[in-house]
Amino acid sequence: MTGDNLSETPPEELPLTVPAIVERAASRFGTLEGLVEGDLRITFAELASRVDVAARAMVGSRVCPGDRVAIWAPNISEWLFAALGVYRAGGVLVPLNTRFKGEEAAYILQTSGARMLFTVTDFLDANYVESLSRASEVPALEEIVVMRGDVQPNTISWSAFLDRGADVDHSVTAARADELGPDDVSDILFTSGTTGAPKGAMLTHGATVRAFDAWSRVVGLRDGDRYLIVNPFFHAFGLKAGIVASLLTGATIVPHLVFDVPSVMKRIVEERITMLPGPPAIYQTILDHPDLGDFDLSSLRLAVTGAATVPVEMIRRMRSELAFETVVTGYGLTEATGIVTMCHHDDDPETIATTAGCAIPGVEVRVVNDGADADIGNPGEVIVRGYNLMLGFFGNPSATAEAIDEQGWLHTGDIGVLDERGYLKITDRIKDMFIVGGFNAYPAEIENLMMSHPAIGQVAVVGIPDHRMGEVGVAFVVPRADTAIAPDELIAWCREQMANYKVPRRIEIVDALPLNASGKVLKFVLRERATNE
């Protein structure tokens, strides 16, 4: 299926590099509030100016076009200035996950050949500089800049870094930005490494701008919106659907440091937030919060979510109880610049909850079995082709060849189903599927069925080895607020709702599910726990 039906109005002629988008934002939205963080409140024009200061400092630090520069920090304003400054200086951004330990960060730095690292020393009791000092050596890394926190030996402060640009003329960074083209690499985003060592997807300026212009128009993001970015900047969503989309549309960027429900609800009230994206767990937790009624969340307008499991009832409650005008779901992956399909804002709740929408313009999506297209409604592997695909994995041509075939199709490793409208439903990851007595069991399908139980707030299902059946399911359940249910009762209920091979062999009641920094459930943690028990 080729995406061509989401473009209701033809897009304006966009400059297809991120630095050009920053300049465009300064010109079009110059006096609007561009960034809000604590006492810092600056316009889009001032934001562009600070980005240029950072870019001139990059040049003063001998960053050359194509050089890799890493950032290992939470959602703070300096992250944004440094990242956009890297782009403007012609460099390539390498974001690092804030949950990484020293060895994990060292691996990314060494693999990417990053010359500089921007980091912090005071985030959630973590000192990233100390953590890195205890890890393997990183030969290419020449310098560490501490953006916030105590400046450690052999590092420099953010202010000292910025001083290096004092003698670099604005024309130098302007020329660097002008030399960039849409096919130039903007960033290298490393995959999670759940199926082996992390691999760096090389993404381009042009794909980033085109994809998130389409994304922004479908969502309805516009100037005057106030966008609470809870998704981490190091992730494709936080960086591209967050920072880049806001620059494209004139939405105010409001970074959020650490997600917890009370602080998010408090900031929605204080900043009159209109745009709040995130995984389903965020909205479900807000809806189930006992103090929800104490917060005026009436400013909320837009929500974007997506996952294998999005309860229909949650979509309805988001519209009725949280008063969102627009709730859409989508599907994407790092290797496809973070976006592949999206729902329409006027799709019904069932469509929004049970599908990830159809392909964005210029992108093709197929569902295949053994290389042939699966019949409508039948599951198969999702493959994708279009302008949004990565150039390849950095320094890893063999992994690139495994991911993208000779016809240019990216093999996602996701299992999905296409309906007659071309809407895609992601049913699972190939690696998450388990086989019970010869029957394929898909955790997402089981989770969807279980979410219809009124006492279940969240659920995650994993498969574990079983000597008789091969594998069986184990479900981890977070009850809804002020409810309780016994595992035996829930298993009995499951037997009435689904085929016997889908019924979890064991159910564990837990206070919370383990999540990564992007809000996705860490299935491998649950699988290990269930197997050990």
pLDDT, one tens digit per residue, over 212-246 is: 999 999 999 999 999 999 988 998 999 999 999 99
Q: Identify the pLDDT of residue 1.
A: 63
Does the structural domain 434-532 have CATH classification 1.10.10.10? no
Q: What is the mean pLDDT of residues 74-80?
A: 97
**Which residues are CB-neighbours of 336 under 8 A, at least 6 positions away?**
363, 384, 386, 388, 389, 390, 410, 412
Banded model confidence at residue 6, pLDDT cuts 50, 70, 90: very low
Give the integer Cα–Cα distance in Å for 269 and 296.
Answer: 6
Query: What is the strand order of the sheet 392-393 is part of?
Result: 156-157, 143-148, 116-120, 68-72, 92-95, 185-190, 200-204, 392-393
Contact 151, 144 (CB under 8 A): no
Could you give the CA distance from residue 458 to residue 514 in angstroms, rounded to a whole number? 11
Residue 245 contacts residue 226 (beta carbons within 8 Å): no
pLDDT digits (tens, 9 = 90+) for 412-436: 988 899 999 999 998 877 777 787 8
Instruction: Look at 226 and 122; give whichever has higher pLDDT.
Output: 226
Reduced to 3 states (helix: H, G, I; strand: E, B; else coil), residue 373 is strand
Mean pLDDT, the chain, integer = 90
Specify the pLDDT at position 291. 86
CA 317 – CA 310 distance, rounded (Å): 12
User: Fold match between 206-429 and 434-532?
Assistant: no
Task: In whole angstroms, give the CA distance from residue 52 to residue 30.
Answer: 15
**DSSP annotation string for 400-444:** HHHHB-TTS-EEEEEEEEE-TTS-EEEEEETTT-EEETTEEE-HH
Neighbours of 249 (CB within 10 A): 23
Among 234, 274, 257, residue whose Cα is nearest residue 98: 234
- The answer to whether residue 8 scores a pLDDT higher than 80 is no
Asked if residues 275 and 228 have their Cβ atoms less than 8 Å apart, the reply is: yes
Per-domain residue ranges for the chain?
38-180, 206-429, 434-532
Cβ-based burial of 440 (10 A; exposed 0-12, middle 13-18, buried ≥19): middle
H or E segment at 130? helix 128-133
Tell me what the mean pLDDT of segment 387-392 comes to: 97
Q: What architecture (CATH level 2) is domain 38-180?
A: 3-Layer(aba) Sandwich (3.40)
CATH of span 206-429: 3.40.50.12780
pLDDT above 90 coverage of the chain, percent: 66
pLDDT digits (tens, 9 = 90+) for 272-307: 999 999 877 788 888 988 888 889 999 999 999 876
The whole-number pLDDT of residue 3 equals: 61
Q: Which of 314, 309, 339, 329 is nearest to 521 (CA)?
A: 309
Q: Report the C-alpha gap between 232 and 490 in whole angstroms.
A: 35
For residue range 341-383, list pLDDT tens digits in order: 999 888 988 899 889 999 999 999 999 988 899 999 998 999 9
Give the pLDDT confidence of 12-71 residue by residue, as tens digits.
Answer: 689 999 999 999 999 999 999 999 999 999 999 999 999 999 999 999 999 999 999 999
For residues 184 and 470, the model is more confident at 184
Q: Of 227, 311, 235, 342, give the one whose Cα is nearest residue 277.
A: 227
Give pLDDT, residue 5.
47
Mean pLDDT of the region 391-417: 94
| φ, ψ (nearest 5 deg) of residue 411 | -90, 110
Alpha-carbon Rg for the chain in angstroms:
23
Q: How far is CA 206 from the centre of its chain?
A: 19
Q: Could you give the 3-state DSSP secondary structure of residue 390?
A: coil
